[in-house]
Amino acid sequence: MYVYIFNRLVGAAVTVFLVLTLVFFLVRLSGDPVALMADPYFDEDDIQALREDLGLDGTVAEQYLVFLGNVVRGDFGNSIRFREPALNLYLDRMPATLKLMVFGVFFAIGLGIPIGVIAGVSPGSRIDGVARTGALLGQAVPSFWLGIMLILLFAVQLGWLPTSGEHGLKSMILPGITLGSFSIAAMTRLTRSTVLDIWDTEYVRLLMVKGLPRRLVIWKHVVKNAALPVMTLASLQMIAFLSGSVIVEQIFAWPGVGRVAVEAVFSRDFPLIQTVVVINTVLLVLMNLAVDLAYVAIDPRIRFTAAR
Amino acid sequence: MDDRGYWTRRRITRRVALRSAGFGAAGLAGAALFGCGGDDEEQAPAAPATTAQPAGTAAAGGTAAAVAPGARPSASSGHVDIAQSSLDTQPGDPHLGTSGIQEPIRYATNTSLFTLTVEGERVIAVADSIEAAEDFLSYVVKVREGLTFTNGDPITGEDVKFSMDRVAAMGSGKASWTRKFSSHELIDPMTVKVVQTQVEPTAFLSVRGLYTVPKNYTEGLNDGPWAETKFGEAPIGVGPYRLTENRIGVLETFEAHDGYLLGAPFVKTITVHVVPELTTKIAQLQTGEVDIVQGLLADQMDQVTSISGGKIVSSFGAGSSELTYFDIMKPDSPFNDVRVRKALAHAVNRQEIIDTLYRGQAILQNSLHVKFPATTGYDEVLAKNEPFPYDPQTAKQLLDAAGYGAGFQTQITTYDTSTSPGTPQMMEAVSNYLSQVGVISPVRFMEAGQYVGQFREKTLTGMGPISFGGLADDFAVVYETHFLGNTGPEAAAPFSYDDWQEGDDLWRAITKETDVEKREQMSKDLLRMLSRDRVPNLTLVAPHALLGLGPRVADFPRPPAQPYLSHLEHIRLEDGA
């Protein structure tokens, strides 16, 4: 087990290094950030002075070596645009993204799994029909439109909730629903499909014949066996939420990392782009590792394979 | 008194500036605005009048009421929330700003040696006078007595000199500063002498007039000689407001400086929120979460005026749209022939663009970049008469004469810009007009960063728009940044694709000319020649910048040609709000 974890961590480190290098060179193909920042009154001397101030006057190779040396010390450099440590800017926005992520995950998993289970164990029923229609709409309706409609209805017309911004629990509801709408639909459909497969198996029929309560059969046996693919999807959703949703943050003026990332791309803010990508990569590999370890906890067969 | 020779006067004083800058017409108010040191001859400028409302403003919402002249509060009160699409990098440090979108917010916390009033007139502010030497190579700046920073420290010549030192050492415009000014020294506690490297009456404009920061406070931050990091976190300035909270990408909060040199602001605290989505901003106005929204499109006016007490105010001609002919210097390009350039100008129905795309919320732009009398070089005849009226017949005749009677193929590359909203749609309209005279120009959309970068690198082909906001101070400065070619020792303008020897030579003569009348006439001549004869750009329209006011706001006067927020000190709340 520990060897497995060690091997995975080494692999993760290599992955992060490769991603870091790839992003470093790729972003520099997107254009000159100094040209974007320069005031119209700047001439070439001003632009060159600005380039020197920002550490962009050396060769790409020189910049890469400096960057690597700083990264191992935890220094991702200063944002070109904001002239503040890029890591600080990212971490400053992370709490807002985490809040939205928790709400979105709670919404998606908390509703998507139960609905999917209920629909899966009663195929063809009215509940199943409503669940499938809801899932279809959830995946078909663009989040951009949904967010605006929710604002117009619940904030403008009814006045129940704020339109936007981060102002506490009430302000998380509309963006959380918008963020989670696609995920709840995806969770519902996958859970339904997986439960449907398992519900038809012989061992489930045996459990029912033995006289176990239906509720026990569903929630203790069926759901546990349906958990693996659902957990995989849930982890991917969490990663997506952690990376920030640009559309939701745009509509609701939510100060998360998604907007930071997009603004960094548009302004060619190399250090900030690199910071966002590297941290998201680290989170992704760690999340994948956690999910893999969770598989072992849920499925004994996997444990057996790992022990060999 | 016509003051379009503002920058080339030998001596500029507050009295001269106020009298000549149109305040006489507005009527000098009796109420004192700021400490005049007991000088009976100094008079306070009139309180700003509301910008005239554009035609077509919905009657249901009404227009903002005119402000009574001379009314400034003894102390500010109340709070206002504003929604703006972006605050860009939000630098707290006025010497580190780099873009136009930051400039209006900087006005809130800083005032330079001179400033722009809400009527669009320039007045000197921190300076009491600026006197040029006979040869115009040096200037003596006398600092106004009795002024204080927002922390209460008095402003002295040492602070002005320190600010100049700071800009020269670490400011974002330090290269321009050191190129234009060879030295500056304190000659008495309230006087600084500045020496230029060459005669250039408008040199102060290119360094944004020099924002003054407090020497003692800055040095007391113990962050190196210039406090490059710490000053921006807790900036102190001379503006109507002090920055009290600065969350990057989220909001900025300002608190009034009641001792501001031009009079206390009306509103005590203002929070500007970053709200990227226009629909959300309007929703915020509808729910009362914000009181002012910036960046409205003409199509959204009805949504604001349908709010009970909702109003629209606008800054006239804030945007500036021109189509640049990127291939103007290529011998085998149709755009190399001036007849083709004039033909395309005749082919576009700009009034129809204003009426349909902008619902009347724009003005014709008849000359390159210069739209208002406050700009040196403004030509009233040119401004009020289209040099190339819509006339497809004449367009076809010119194309025929140039050998392109059968038309030709080119392209329009465009981008989206908040300075001139609706630019991509306008380019589609232009493309349609051009196709009617045989010029096929499909529109290619490019991301803004890439477009501006390639524009400056001069790698674009065909045609493309470039938009600038703000009130141009002097056409010679505009020419230097937008039209100067590679015809002499100076670096070509970053946005120029043209190398026009005649125009560049005239520009060089203008920059050296110190006679006010001659300079004015030469600037007009250059503008006329450029707009009517050379035609390196196809002028289009100048959209108004529209803002929506909620019911709590009585008025928010807007200066002309200002696409973003500025003059926050003039926001007035309704009684009881």
Q: Do B172 and A156 touch (CB under 8 A)?
A: no
Q: Are the beta carbons of B143 and B126 closer than 8 angstroms?
A: yes
Considering only CB atoms, which chain B residues are within 8 Å of A35?
A: 452-453, 456-457
DSSP assignment of A129-145 equals HHHHHHHHHHHHS-HHH
Residue matched to tokens 């800055």:
B218
Q: Do A38 and B494 touch (CB under 8 A)?
A: yes
Please give the single-letter amino acid code of residue B464.
G
The CA radius of gyration of chain A, in Å to the nearest whole number, is 24
Cα–Cα separations (whole angstroms), residue B329 to A57, B485, B486: 31, 11, 11
Q: Nearest by CB to A156, which of B90, B287, B494? A: B287
Please give the single-letter amino acid code of residue B55.
A
Q: Are the beta carbons of B349 and B355 closer than 8 angstroms?
A: no
Nearest CA in chain B to A158: B287
- CA-nearest of B258, B350, B194, B343 to B569 is B258
Taking the CA of residue B241 and the nearest CA in chain A, the distance in Å comes to 22
Nearest CA in chain A to B456: A35
Q: Nearest by CB to A266, which of B284, B448, B456? A: B448
Q: Are the beta carbons of B111 and B569 closer than 8 angstroms?
A: no
pLDDT of B2 higher than 50: no
Length of chain B: 577
Q: Do A37 and B174 touch (CB under 8 A)?
A: no
Tens-digit pLDDT profile for residues B265-278: 999 999 999 999 99
Tens-digit pLDDT profile for residues B369-402: 888 887 888 888 888 888 999 999 999 999 999 9
Give the alpha-carbon dihedral of B488, B489, B493, B496, to 10 degrees.
30
Cα–Cα separations (whole angstroms), residue B262 to A2, A4, A14, B120: 71, 71, 61, 15
Length of chain A: 308
pLDDT of B537 higher than 50: yes
Strand order in the sheet with B463-467: B443-445, B412-414, B463-467, B321-325, B537-539
Taking the CA of residue A163 and the nearest CA in chain B, the distance in Å comes to 6
Share of chain B above pLDDT 90, in %: 51
Q: What rounded mean pLDDT belongs to chain A?
A: 86
Outline where A38-163 has alpha helix (H). Answer: 44-53, 60-71, 86-121, 126-140, 143-150
A149-153: long-range pairs with CB below 8 Å, 24+: A150/A174, A150/A177, A150/A178, A151/A251, A151/A252, A151/B279, A151/B280, A151/B283, A152/B283
Tell me whether B486 touches chain A (CB under 8 Å).
no
Instruction: Band the pLDDT of B573: cuts 50, 70, 90.
Output: very high
Taking the CA of residue B494 and the nearest CA in chain A, the distance in Å comes to 7
pLDDT of B26 higher than 70: no
pLDDT score at B95: 87
Structure tokens at A295: 């598989």
pLDDT of B441 higher than 50: yes
Please give the single-letter amino acid code of residue B104.
P
Cα–Cα separations (whole angstroms), residue B198 to B42, B201, B260, B511: 33, 9, 35, 10
Taking the CA of residue A167 and the nearest CA in chain B, the distance in Å comes to 12
Q: Do A40 and B277 touch (CB under 8 A)?
A: no
Instruction: Band the pLDDT of B363: cuts 50, 70, 90.
Output: very high
Average pLDDT over residues B17-28: 30
Residues facing residue B129 across a β-bridge: B13, B142
pLDDT of B406 higher than 70: yes
Residues facing residue B543 across a β-bridge: B362
pLDDT score at A41: 61
Quote the ipTM score.
0.85
Q: Are the beta carbons of B269 and B245 closer than 8 angstroms?
A: no
**In terms of pLDDT, which residue wins out, B47 or B481?**
B481
Cα distance from N-terminal residue to C-terminal residue, chain A: 10
Nearest CA in chain B to A155: B287
Which range is most confident: A141-145, A279-283, B416-420? A141-145
Cα–Cα separations (whole angstroms), residue B206 to A46, B226, B290: 12, 21, 35
pLDDT score at A242: 77
Outline where B348-447 has alpha helix (H). Answer: 350-356, 380-384, 392-401, 423-435
pLDDT score at B208: 60
Tell me whether B176 touches chain A (CB under 8 Å).
yes
- CA-nearest of B208, B198, B309 to B554 is B309
Taking the CA of residue B285 and the nearest CA in chain A, the distance in Å comes to 9
Considering only CB atoms, which chain A residues are within 8 Å of B206?
A: 41
Neighbour count for residue B131 (Cβ, 10 Å) = 17
Structure tokens at B373: 């009398």
State the Cα angle at A254 between A249 and A255, rounded to 5°: 110
**In terms of pLDDT, which residue wins out, A221 or A242?**
A221
pLDDT of A51 higher than 80: no
Report pTM: 0.85
Among B residues 392-411, those touching chain A with beta carbons less than 8 Å apart: none
- CA-nearest of A20, A12, A86 to A277 is A20
Cβ contacts of A62 within 8 Å, gap of 6 or more: none
Tens-digit pLDDT profile for residues B129-183: 888 888 888 899 999 999 999 999 999 999 999 999 998 888 877 777 888 899 9
* DSSP conformation class of B459: -
Nearest CA in chain A to B172: A50
Q: Nearest by CB to A253, which of B276, B450, B494? A: B276
Helices then strands, each counted (H, E), chain B? 19, 25
Structure tokens at B364: 């014709």
Q: Do A151 and B494 touch (CB under 8 A)?
A: no
pLDDT of A15 higher than 70: yes
**In terms of pLDDT, which residue wins out, B577 or B507?**
B507
Rounded Cα gap, residues B411 and B417, in angstroms: 19
Rounded Cα gap, residues B368 and B354, in angstroms: 18
Q: Are the beta carbons of B531 and B368 closer than 8 angstroms?
A: yes
Share of chain B above pLDDT 70, in %: 86
Q: Nearest by CB to B284, which of A36, A164, A259? A: A164
If phi > 0 it is left, if psi is from -120 to 50 it is alpha, else beta; for residue B22 that is: left
Considering only CB atoms, which chain B residues are within 8 Å of A87?
A: none
**In terms of pLDDT, which residue wins out, B369 or A122?**
A122
Tens-digit pLDDT profile for residues A146-179: 999 999 999 999 999 999 999 889 999 999 999 9
Residues facing residue B122 across a β-bridge: B116
Tell me whether B98 touches chain A (CB under 8 Å).
yes
Residue matched to tokens 């050492």:
B169
* DSSP conformation class of B95: G
Tens-digit pLDDT profile for residues B204-217: 766 666 889 999 99
Residue to substitute from A36, A160, A249, interface B, most B β-carbons within 10 A? A36
Q: Nearest by CB to A255, which of B250, B277, B468? A: B250
Cα distance from N-terminal residue to C-terminal residue, chain B: 40
pLDDT score at B245: 93
Instruction: Band the pLDDT of B327: cuts 50, 70, 90.
Output: very high
Tens-digit pLDDT profile for residues B239-257: 999 999 998 889 999 999 9
Tens-digit pLDDT profile for residues A62-87: 888 888 888 888 888 888 888 888 99
pLDDT score at A106: 86
Q: Are the beta carbons of B244 and B108 closer than 8 angstroms?
A: no
pLDDT score at B13: 62
Among B residues 439-458, those touching chain A with beta carbons less than 8 Å apart: 447-450, 452-454, 456-457
Considering only CB atoms, which chain B residues are within 8 Å of A40?
A: 100, 468, 481-482, 494-495
Tell me whether B173 touches chain A (CB under 8 Å).
yes
Structure tokens at B193: 């002498």
pLDDT score at B5: 46
Q: Do B173 and A39 touch (CB under 8 A)?
A: yes
Considering only CB atoms, which chain B residues are within 8 Å of A44?
A: 491, 494
Average pLDDT over residues B40-44: 30
Please give the single-letter amino acid code of residue A270.
F
Share of chain A above pLDDT 70, in %: 94
pLDDT score at A304: 45
